[in-house]
Structure 1
Amino acid sequence: MKIIVLGSGVIGTTSAYYLAKAGHEVTVIDRQPEAGLETSFANAGEVSPGYAAPWAGPGVPMKAVKWLLMQHSPLVVRPALDPQMWRWMFQMLANCNQKSYETNKGRMVRLAEYSRDCLVQLRLDTGIAYDERSQGTLQLFRTQKQLDGAAADTAVLERYQVLYSVLDPKGCEAAEPALANVRGKFVGGLQLPGDETGDCFKFTQRLAKMAEGLGVTFRQGVDIVRLVVNGDRIAGVVTSKGELKADAFVLALGSYSPLLLRQVGIRIPVYPVKGYSITIPIVDAKGAPESTVMDETFKVAITRLGERIRVGGTAEIAGYDLSLRQARRDTLEHSVNDLFPMAGDTSKAEFWCGLRPMTPDGTPVMGPTPFSNLFLNTGHGTLGWTMACGSGRVLADLVSGRQPEIGLEGLFMDRYGRSNKPIFVPQGATVGGQAPVVPSAA
C-alpha cells in the first residue's frame, strides 16, 4: 500500500520504518526541515518501561496542591480560557483513583516492555548507535514516605514480571557511585535494571536515514493544512505543497494531532504539557551519573548521554506556549547540582522545552479511527521515546492486517466512550489477544 505518515518525530519515524519493513510505500510529511526537531529533540533520554506510569493516581490532587506551593515545583499550571485545557484536567482528575491507576499503568507497562524489546532487536538488526546505555534507572527517594509509597508500583511491576530492586542508601550508591558524594540526602531507591538510556534525537535522525534506505520519502518543510474526507475514508491531505493522496494515513503529530483531527469530527483527549531540559557538558566523569537517576521529589530525570548530562522535567500546563522560563531552568539546575555537584558545568547548559502529547489516563492513543484508512499513533506523553519502537511496530502490524504481538486492550481511541463515531478495527485484529473484533460501521 501507499501510506502517508504525518509527523517525523520519533513516533512518526519509527512508524515509517516499520511500515517500510512490512513492504509498504511510505511518505513522511513534516513542517520541520529535519526529523526529530520538536518534542523528540532534547527529552530526558530515558527508555524506561519499568517507570511507565500514569500521572493520574491516588493522592495526586493533594500532591499537586503541595507541588504548586514548592519553590522548585514539578508542576506549573497557567490557567487560560481554553475549554480543552479544563476538560483534559477534569478527565485526569477522574483517573486519580487506585482502580484506574492500576488499569492504566498495566496498559502502559505492557506497551513499554514490548517497545524496549523491539528497540533491542532493532539495535541488533541495524547496529544503530545513539549514545545508548543499558544500565537501568534508579528512582531516588529523599523521604521515607516516598519509599513506602513505591509499594503500589512494585505490585504492578510484579504482575507484569518487570525486574526491580528496592535499595537502601548503600544499594543506591552501589548502583550510582557518585551519590556517595551526597550521602544523607536520600533514604533509598527503586532500581529498574531493564531500563535503558539514549539520545532520542540521534536515534530519530539515524533511523530516518535507515528508513530512506528502505525507500521511505521524507518531505520536510511541508505544512499540513487539512485532511480530505470522502465518505468513511480519507482521500488525501492538503499541504503547503499541494494535495497528496495515499491508500492509508498515519497521524503522528504529537500534541498537534487533535487540532487536525477536530477538522474531520474526531475528538481525542490529547493535550500539550510542556517539559523542559538542560544539556550539560560533563567536567568530572566520576561525579556524573552512570545511567538515569529520577529525583522523585522534583520529578526530574538526570541522564548520562555520552559526555553530556541531560536533565529533564517539569509539567507545565500552558497550552501551546513554547516560551523558555528561567524558573524552570533553576529547578533543573537545583536537582542536578544537589545530587551530582561535581558532574557538569551548568553555566554552559543548553536550555530547551517541548510539548509532550499527554492523555488524561497516560496511555497513548493508537490504531483505528472512524475512517477506515486513518490510523493514530499519538498521545505518548513523557514516554514517546520509551514506547516509540513498540508503537511503530504495533501500528505497522495493524495497517498491514497482521495481529500485533501484544494485546491491544485499552490502546484504541474508543476507550474514551461514545463522543466519536464507531471505529473501523482492521479485519482479524484481536483485543487482549483473545476475542476477534468485527469491523465497526461508521
Structure 2
Amino acid sequence: MKVVVLGGGVIGVTSAYYLAKAGHDVTVLDRQSGPAMETSFANAGQVSPGYASPWANQGVPLKAVKWLLMKHGPLAVRPRLDPTMWSWLMQMLRNCTAARYAVNKGRMVPLAEYSRDCLQALRAETGIAYDERSRGTLQLFRTQKQVDGVGGDIDVLKQYGVRHELLDRDGCVSAEPALANVREKFVGGLRLPGDETGNCQVFTSNLAALAAASVDFRYGVTVSGVLHDGRRATGVATSEGVIDADAIVVAFGSYSPALVRPLGLRLPVYPVKGYSITLPIADEARAPVSTVMDETYKIAITRLGSSIRVGGTAEIAGYDLSLRPGRRGPLDFSVGDLFGGGGQMDKATFWCGLRPMTPDGPPIVGGTRIGGLYLNTGHGTLGWTMACGSARVLADLISGQTPDVDVSELGLQRY
C-alpha cells in the first residue's frame, strides 16, 4: 500500500518507520529542510509514561488563577479574537472534573507504557543512540500539600502496574545527589523508575536516517490539501504537484486541524506554546542525573549528555512563535534554584515550540470517516513519550492488524 505521511517530526518519522517495517511504500512530506525542526527540536527530553496525565483536572481552574499571579508561574494566556481558542478552553474546562480526569488518564497511561516498550525494542533492534538514559523521573514536591494530593495519581499508577516510589527528602537525594545542596527546598517526591530521557531531535534524525533506505523523505515541500473522491482520500496536493496515495497519515501537530477542516473534520487540537533552554554542564556534581519535574513551577530539568535541558511553561497565544524573554524567567529560576552551578547559564540557548493539545488530554490516533485518511496528532507535551506506540498502533490499523493496545477510545469519534 502506498502511504503518505504528512509531517517530519517525531510522530511522523516514527509512523513512517513502522509503516515501512510493515511492508508499505512510504513517503514523508515536511516543509522544513530536515526532520524534527519544529516542536520535536528542543523539547524537555522526557520519555515519561508514568507522568502521562491530562492537564485538565478538577484543581486546574483555581490553580490557573494562582499560576497567572505567580512571579514564575507556569501559565500565560494572551487573549485573542479567535473563536477556536475560546472553544478549546471551554472544552478543556468541561474536562476539569475528577471523573473525566480518571477516564482520560486511563486512556493515556496504557498507550504511554506501550510506547516506552516499543522504544526499548526499537533501540535493541537498531542500536540507535540519542543521549538516552534509563534513570527515571523524579516529580519533586516543594510542599506537603503536593505530597498529600498525589494519592489519585498513585491509584492510577497502581491500576496499570506502573512502577513508582513515594520518597522522602533522603530518598530524593539518593535518586538525584545534586539535590543534597538544596534539601531544605523540598519535602519529598514521586519517582517513576521506568521513565527514560534523551534528545528527541537526535533520535528523530537518526531514525529518519535509518529509515531512509525504505522511506522516501521529501523536505521543503508544502502541503496545501488532501484530495478525495467523496468517499476515500486519493492523494495530496503539494508544492511539487499531486502525490497519489492509498492512505494518508496526518501528523502535522498543531497545524493538523487547518489541513482537515476543508474535509468537514473538526479536530479539537490547539497550540500551547512551550519554552526550553539548553545549557552546557559546568559541574557534574551539581547537575541532574536524569529528569526532575519541579512540580510547583511545572518545569522539567533533564540531563542530555553533556547538557541540561530545561523545559516547561504553557503559553496560550495561538500560533505565535515569538520568543518572549519574560517566559524564560521560570526556566532560569527553577534550574538555578535546584541545580545552581550545574550548568553554564551564560551559554544557554533559548527556544520555543507549539505543543498540539487536545482539550481532554489523550492524543487522536486512528482512522476517520473518510476512507484511507488517518490521524496521529494531539499528543501535547507527550509527543515523544507516545510516539513509538502511536506509530506502531497506526501501522497495525492501516495494515488491517489488531493493535497490541486498545485505542478504540482515542479516535476523533470520542468528540
Determine if the TM-score, normalized by the shorter chain, exceeds 0.5: yes
2-structure distance, mates of 1:342, 1:319: 35
Q: Which amino acid aligns with 1:285?
A: E
| 1:132 alignment partner in structure 2 | 132
Aligned-pair Cα RMSD in Å:
0.5
Percent identity (aligned): 67
SS in 1 for 2:212: helix
1:122 aligns with 2:122: yes
CA drift at 1:346 = 1.1
Q: How far did 1:39 drift?
A: 0.2
**Superposed, which structure 2 residues align to 1:184-199 within 5 Å?**
184-199=184-199
Distance in 2, matches of 1:118 and 1:24, equals: 19
Give the letter for the 1:403 counterpart. Answer: T
* Separation (CA, whole Å) in 2 of partners of 1:334 and 1:231: 54
The one-letter amino acid paired with 2:140 is L
Q: Map 1:11-410 to 2 at 5 A.
A: 11-213=11-213, 215-410=214-409
Deviation at 1:164, TM superposition (A): 0.2
Deviation at 1:231, TM superposition (A): 1.3
Residue identity opposite 2:51 in structure 1: Y
Query: 1:411 Cα deviation (Å)?
Result: 0.7
TM-score, normalisation: structure 1: 0.93
Map 1:419-438; keep pairs closer than 5 Å.
Answer: none
Distance of 1:181 and 1:293 partners within structure 2:
15
Over residues 32-78 of structure 1, what are the superposed CA-to-partner deviations in whole Å (9 max), with x where a residue is unaligned? 00010000000000000000000000111000000000011101000
- Deviation for aligned residue 1:389: 0.4
C-alpha distance in 2 between matches for 1:82 and 1:383: 25
Q: How far is 1:366 from its partner? A: 0.7
Please state how far the C-alpha of 1:234 moved relative to its aligned partner: 1.1
Question: How far apart are the structure 2 equivalents of 1:192 and 1:265?
Answer: 41
| Structure 2 residue matching 1:184: 3-state secondary structure | helix
Following superposition, the deviation at residue 328 of structure 1 comes to 1.0
Amino acid in the other structure paired with 1:37: M
* Offset of residue 370 of structure 1: 1.1
Distance 2:148 2:58 in 1: 14
Deviations 1:179-220 (A, max 9, x none): 00011000000000000000000000000011112x100010
In 2: Cα distance, 1:146 partner to 1:10 partner? 32
- Opposite residue 61 of structure 1, the aligned amino acid is P
**Deviations 1:313-362 (CA, angstroms, capped at 9, x unpaired):** 00100000000011111110000000000200111101000000000011
Amino acid at match of 2:162: V
Aligned-pair CA distance for 1:3 = 0.5
- Provide the C-alpha distance between the structure 1 equivalents of 2:82 and 2:358, rounded to a whole number of angstroms: 16
**TM superposition shift of 1:408:** 1.5
Measure, in 2, the Cα distance between the counterparts of 1:414 and 1:395: 16
Instruction: Give me the whole-angstrom Cα distance separating, in 2, the residues matched to 1:102 and 1:410.
Output: 14
- Alignment match, 1:440: none
> Match for 1:114: what amino acid?
Y
**C-alpha distance in structure 1 between counterparts of 2:280 and 2:21, whole Å:** 37
Paired amino acid for 1:247: D
Partner amino acid, structure 2, of 1:222: V
Check whether the contact 2:365–2:407 (CA below 8 A) recurs between aligned residues: no
Q: Give the letter for the 1:390 counterpart.
A: G
Q: Helix, strand or coil: the match of 1:28?
A: strand
Q: Secondary structure at the match of 1:183?
A: helix
- In structure 2, distance between residues paired with 1:162 and 1:222: 41
Please list the CA deviations of residues 257-299 of structure 1 after superposition, one character each: whole Å capped at 9, or x if unmatched. Answer: 0010101110010000000000000010110000000000000
Amino acid at match of 1:280: L
The match for 1:5 is 5
Find the aligned partners of 1:71 and 1:394 in 2 and give their Cα distance: 42
Residue identity in the other structure for 1:279: T
Q: Secondary structure at the match of 2:185?
A: coil
Equivalent pairs, count: 415
TM superposition shift of 1:409? 3.2
AA partner of residue 301 (structure 2): I
Shift of 1:87: 0.4
Unmatched segments (≥5 aa) in structure 2: none
Q: Distance in 2 between matches of 1:401 and 1:186?
A: 50
In the alignment, residue 163 of structure 1 is paired with which amino acid? R
Distance in 1 between residues matched to 2:215 and 2:6, nearest whole Å: 13
